[in-house]
Amino acid sequence: MAEKLKDRVAIVTGAGTGIGRAIAIGLAKEGANLVGAARRVDKLQETAKEVEALGRKFLAVRCDVSKKEDCENVVRETLNEFGRIDILVNNAAIFPFTRFLDITPEEWDTVMATNVRGVVQMCQAVLPHMINQGRGNIIMVNSAQARMAAYLQPHYTTSKGALLALTRSLAGEYGPKGIRVNGFNVGFTPETEQVQLFGEKAIPQSFREALIKTIPLRRLGRPEDYQGIAVFLASDDSAYITGQTIPVDGGQAMP
């Protein structure tokens, strides 16, 4: 069976761990060459080993997406190495747990700088090149919390709600240029480094068990659960889809 993404070039932010790492590997399995962008290059090297074992190329670039110059450098390094950019997966995000009345302006701005402005800056960096190519594909890794009540993460939830609107806006503006923009909402996925850092105290087992009862498929998400949707949205299988954000959360956020 032919590879769905043969020789396409994909940038994945936050590709060193968790969902981003799984997505990068999933795209590589379908023939894509990868550029991993993250703050920790050592983690990117671990992803690189798995991608290269599949016979695909992997370029690791240090990047803090909240910094415009870092985003522009990722694009510059990608073009120097591969000469084109076919896919951008905006995955990098932070999600601290804080009660709304305890959030400081600094903490609010830090979340927005990564989760919203970082996405904007990556899109601004890649779009001119996609326009010149006459085609491109941008994918937003969003969250089920964008469409449901969530506690202790009002800044994270707000940032993900903003991505719903940004996805539609960019799809409308750049569709005539041959560029598709879609996203998918992930469910709670504890098998990631960021979640595990919070530990049992912040996310007790009792909370996880209660959450599972709200999910029709009766389990929490795993990073590998999002490989299929990422490949689908990146490939020609979804050639007539744009401006959409698809729930991939076990049915948790059903209306």
Cβ-contact 246, 229 below 8 angstroms: yes
Is residue 157 assigned to a domain? yes
| Residue range 175-186: mean pLDDT, rounded | 98
Identify the DSSP state of 6. Answer: T
Give the model confidence (pLDDT) of 5-23 as tens digits: 999 999 999 999 999 999 9
| Residue range 161-172: mean pLDDT, rounded | 97
Residue 156 bears catalytic tag: yes
Give the model confidence (pLDDT) of 193-215 as tens digits: 666 555 555 567 777 788 888 88
User: Length of the chain in residues, anyone?
Assistant: 255
Q: What separation, in Å, do the N-terminal and C-terminal C-alpha atoms of the chain show?
A: 37
Q: What is the pLDDT of residue 193?
A: 66
Is residue 206 assigned to a domain? no
Is residue 216 assigned to a domain? no
How far apart CA 184 and CA 85 sit, in angstroms, is 21
Q: What CATH number does residue 89 fall under?
A: 3.40.50.720
Q: Does the pLDDT of residue 98 top 60, yes or no?
A: yes
- The Cα angle at residue 59 between residues 58 and 64, in degrees rounded to 5: 130
| Residue range 86-103: mean pLDDT, rounded | 94
Residue 30: which domain range?
Answer: 9-191+222-248
Q: What is the pLDDT of residue 152?
A: 74
Cβ-contact 131, 85 below 8 angstroms: no
Q: Does the pLDDT of residue 128 top 60, yes or no?
A: yes
Residue at 169: amino acid letter: S
Cβ contacts of residue 153 below 8 Å, gap of 6+?
Answer: 95, 96, 97, 98, 145
Tell which residue, 195, 14, 20, 19, has the closest CA to residue 118. 14
CA dihedral 184, 205, 15, 217 (to 10 degrees): -30
Neighbouring CB atoms inside 10 A of 54's CB total 15
Is residue 254 assigned to a domain? no
Q: What is the pLDDT of residue 213?
A: 87
Instruction: Check 151, 156, 174, 240 and give the catalytic one.
Output: 156
Cβ contacts of residue 204 below 8 Å, gap of 6+?
Answer: none
Burial of 248 (0-12, 13-18, 19+ CB in 10 A): buried
Q: What is the pLDDT of residue 150?
A: 73
DSSP assignments along 25-57, one per residue: HHHHHTT-EEEEEES-HHHHHHHHHHHHHTT--
Is residue 202 assigned to a domain? no
Domain count across the chain:
1
Is residue 203 assigned to a domain? no
3-state secondary structure of 231: helix
Is residue 97 assigned to a domain? yes
Residue 119 in tokens: 């996405």
